[in-house]
Amino acid sequence: MASKRLKAEENWTGRRVDFPAFSDALSKRRAELGNPELPRNSGERRTESKKALLKAIKDAGGKW
């Protein structure tokens, strides 16, 4: 199974991102910019399904 997976991964033609390197570079960039925050979505565009899902997460004790 591993060899089959490796073969398929070799066929990937999109971008490849090595997570540790990506995360390190992003950490440095964030620090350079003073750790900017992004504003949370206002929620005005949420579908009814999305509102119900977020309520279910909240009811389960999630802190998202």
Partner 1 sequence: MSSAYRPEFEAALRLFARVSEAMHELGFQRPILVGGAAAEFYSQSAINTGDFDLCTPRQDTLEAEMQKVGFIKPSGPGQMTKGWIHPELRLGFEIVANIPMDGNYDRETLALIENFTDEGAFIVISVEDLIADRMGQYASGTARDRLQQAQTLYRLHPSLDKVYLERRIREETIDEHGIEALES
Tokens of 5: 């997976």
Residues of the shown chain interacting with partner 1 in the complex, contacts defined by CB under 8 A: 1, 5, 8-9, 12-20, 22-24, 26-27, 29-30, 33, 35-42, 44-45, 48-50, 52-57, 59-64
| Shortest distance (Å) from residue 42 CB to partner 1 | 6
In the complex, least distance from residue 17 CB atom to partner 1, rounded to whole angstroms:
5
CB 41 → partner 1: shortest distance, Å? 6
Distances in whole angstroms, Cα of residue 30 to Cα of each of 33, 42, 64: 5, 24, 22
Angle at 48 between CA 45 and CA 54, to 5 degrees: 85
